Structure formats: C-alpha cells, structure tokens
C-alpha cells in the first residue's frame, strides 16, 4: 500500500505540474488555428490553459486518486479519505475558475483605458485601424497580445476579420459587444468614430462599477459558506489522528456509515451553495460568425 501511495503521489505531482502550468511534455500542444470549441474547451481557453477537456478531467482524477491512496495509508480507513480526495479532485477546477475569472476581469477593466488611448490617437488624426494596432505596444497589458495579433490579421485579412478573430480569442460577452461596436465604427465611421468611442467608454465604465459592487457584496458570503463546509472535515481528521477512541470508532462499520452520511450531506450543502450563489453569465449573442446555442459554440 505504501508503494502504491508513493507511485500515485509521484504521478499526481507530475500531472499537477502540467495541469497548473500547461507545459508538461505529455500535455503540451502547439498553438494553431482554433476549430469549433465546446463549452468546456472554451472555458479552459478563457482560463489561459492549453489543456483539452479530456486532459483536464484526467489530471483532476489522478489528483483525487492519489490523495485517496495517501490518506488511506495515513488514516488506515479508506472512507476517511473520501472527502479529502474529492476536495483535491476539485482543486484544479477551483484554481482555473479563479484564474479565468481574474483574467476576464482584467480584460474587462482594461477596455476603457484601451478605448481612451484609441480615442486620443483618432483625435490626433490617426485612423481607427492604426489606433487599434498601436494598442499592441502602448495599450493596457491584458489586451496587448490580442491587439498584436489583430494588427497582423488586419494586414493579412482586413480589419473586420481581425476584430472577429479577437472575439474568438477573448471569448467574452463584454469584449464581443465592444468589438462589434468597433466593427460598426470602422464600416460606418468617419466623423462619428470619436463620438461612438466616447459613448462606449462611458457605458463600459458604468458597467464595471456596477459589477464591482455586486462582486463585493457576495465575497464574504461565499467565504463563510465554504468555511462551514470544510471545518467539520478538518476537525474530523484532527480528532482521528489525536484520539484513539475517535480513531477506533471511525475505523468501524458504524464510523463508515457516519462518514458516508456526512459525505452525502456535504455534497448536498455544496450543491445548494452553488445554486444559491450562482450568477447567470451574459450569453455570447455577438460571437461573430459562430452560432451560439445554449452557451455552446457550434
């Protein structure tokens, strides 16, 4: 059992390195023109990951199984290892969820400054195309890579295809709306471009302010809810390692029944927390040439 735990731990470390960096040799894939993305693949792309959904699920499963093996050796009762294994299996999802949320937030917050830079360039006599291309060098950092590729695509395929490619890359409803307005400004611009950009900056700034207020109101409740779920399990692990009576009970059949019942109730609690705290994302109704149906790219 110790050998199995050691092997599982080694595999878990290897998979975790690739899972959190995206550069493990077995997982690395070349960047290419992206074909139609599933909802799950799009989620990983927005999180900045090069993993496929299958690789992500496999890595999460390995982490969970490795934790199950190690905790079984430590506690000498496999049922006490169930909850830690579930937590570790869900850890990559939590990590990428946080990274995706942060990445999209940075992109949304960068748009007003990017549009102000473009507006200043247009007011100085530049065209919209040149103003957007210059953002690859002097625009906000979160948007520079996307505008760098836009500048190249605009030269090769035209401005509108370049903006459509940015939509696909960013994969965000807010960016879709902004880029669609930029497409319209390019096609029907002229003297209206500056006015359109000013209106767009005002709308985006107000949306960001409202979003920050909503996020701040829900942060404390989310932290408290997860503490309520995790504290009993941490206390259980502590007691089984420090008290012979607790250890003997939870190694028995009665202990197994108690733990399994607690797992069920914890799962129900987590599901309720996710349901109560859920937020409905804005649908990508302006996703360019792609047809969006129920949040899935087809």
Who wins on pLDDT, 189 or 168? 168
| Average pLDDT of the segment spanning 234-256 | 79
- For residue 99, pLDDT over 70 is answered with yes
Q: How far is CA 115 from CA 166, 181, 194, in A?
A: 15, 12, 10
pLDDT confidence of residue 187: 82
Give the tens place of pLDDT for each residue, 22-71.
444 333 333 333 444 567 887 887 787 888 889 899 989 999 899 888 88
Q: Among 117, 160, 122, which residue's Cα sits nearest to residue 135?
A: 117
- For residue 75, pLDDT over 80 is answered with no
Residues 6+ apart with CB under 8 A from 59: 15, 16, 18, 19, 27, 51, 92
Do the strands 292-293 and 296-297 form a parallel or antiparallel pair, or are they unpaired?
antiparallel
Q: What is the mean pLDDT of the chain?
A: 76
Q: Given pLDDT bands bounded at 50, 70 and 90, which one contains residue 184?
A: confident
- For residue 260, pLDDT over 50 is answered with yes
**By mean pLDDT, which of 27-41, 67-81, 216-230 is the weakest?**
27-41
What share of the chain has pLDDT > 70, as a percent? 77
CA–CA separation, 241 and 32 (whole Å) = 51
Q: Among 19, 10, 2, 16, which residue's Cα sits nearest to residue 71?
A: 2
Who wins on pLDDT, 6 or 264? 264
**By mean pLDDT, which of 96-105, 139-148, 183-192, 205-214 is the weakest?**
183-192
Which range has highest mean pLDDT (6-15, 87-96, 215-224)? 87-96
- For residue 179, pLDDT over 80 is answered with yes
Written in H, E and C, the secondary structure of the chain is CHHHHHHHHHHHHHHHHHHHHCCCCCCCCCCCCCCCCCHHHHHHHHCCCCCCHHHHHHHHHHHHHHHHHHHHHHHCCHHHHHHHHHHHHHHHHHHHHHHHHHHHHHHHHHHHHHHHHHHHHHHCCCCHHHHHHHHHHHCCHHHHHHHHHHHHHHHHHCHHHHHHHHHHHHCCHHHHHHHHHHHHHHHHCHHHHHHHHHHHHHHHHHHHHHHHHHHHHHHHHHHHHHHHHHHHHHHHHHHHHHCHHHHHHHCCHHHHHHHHHHHHHHHHHHHHHHHHCCCCCCCCCCCCCCCEECCEEC
- For residue 104, pLDDT over 80 is answered with yes
Who wins on pLDDT, 269 or 16? 269
pLDDT confidence of residue 277: 65
**Do residues 103 and 76 lie in contact, with contact meaning Cβ atoms separated by under 8 Å?**
no
Whether the pTM exceeds 0.75: the reply is no
Q: Given pLDDT bands bounded at 50, 70 and 90, which one contains residue 13?
A: low
């Amino acid at each position: 059992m110790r050998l199995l735990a050691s092997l599982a731990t080694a595999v878990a470390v290897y998979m975790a390195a690739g899972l959190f960096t995206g550069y493990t040799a077995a997982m690395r894939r070349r960047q290419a023109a992206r074909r139609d993305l599933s909802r799950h693949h799009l989620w990983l792309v927005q999180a900045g990951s090069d993993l496929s959904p299958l690789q992500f699920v496999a890595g999460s499963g390995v982490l969970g199984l490795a934790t199950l093996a190690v905790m079984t050796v430590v506690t000498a009762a496999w049922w006490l290892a169930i909850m830690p294994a579930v937590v570790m299996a869900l850890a990559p999802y939590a990590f990428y969820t946080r990274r995706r949320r942060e990445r999209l937030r940075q992109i949304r917050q960068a748009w007003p400054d990017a549009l102000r830079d473009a507006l200043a360039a247009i007011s100085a006599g530049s065209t919209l195309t040149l103003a957007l291309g210059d953002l690859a060098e002097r625009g906000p950092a979160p948007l520079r890579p996307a505008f760098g590729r836009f500048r190249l695509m605009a030269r090769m395929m035209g401005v509108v295809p370049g903006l459509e490619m940015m939509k696909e890359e960013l994969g965000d409803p807010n960016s879709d709306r902004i880029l669609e307005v930029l497409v319209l400004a390019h096609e029907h611009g002229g003297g209206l471009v500056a006015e359109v950009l000013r209106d767009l900056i005002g709308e985006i700034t107000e949306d960001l302010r409202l979003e920050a207020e909503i996020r701040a109101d829900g942060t404390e409740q989310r932290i408290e809810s997860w503490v309520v779920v995790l504290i009993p399990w941490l206390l259980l692990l502590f007691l089984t390692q420090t008290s012979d009576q607790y250890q003997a009970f939870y190694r028995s059949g009665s202990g197994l029944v108690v733990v399994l019942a607690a797992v069920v109730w914890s799962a129900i609690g987590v599901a309720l927390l996710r349901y109560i705290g859920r937020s409905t994302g804005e649908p990508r109704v302006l996703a360019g040439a792609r047809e969006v149906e129920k949040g899935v790219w087809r």
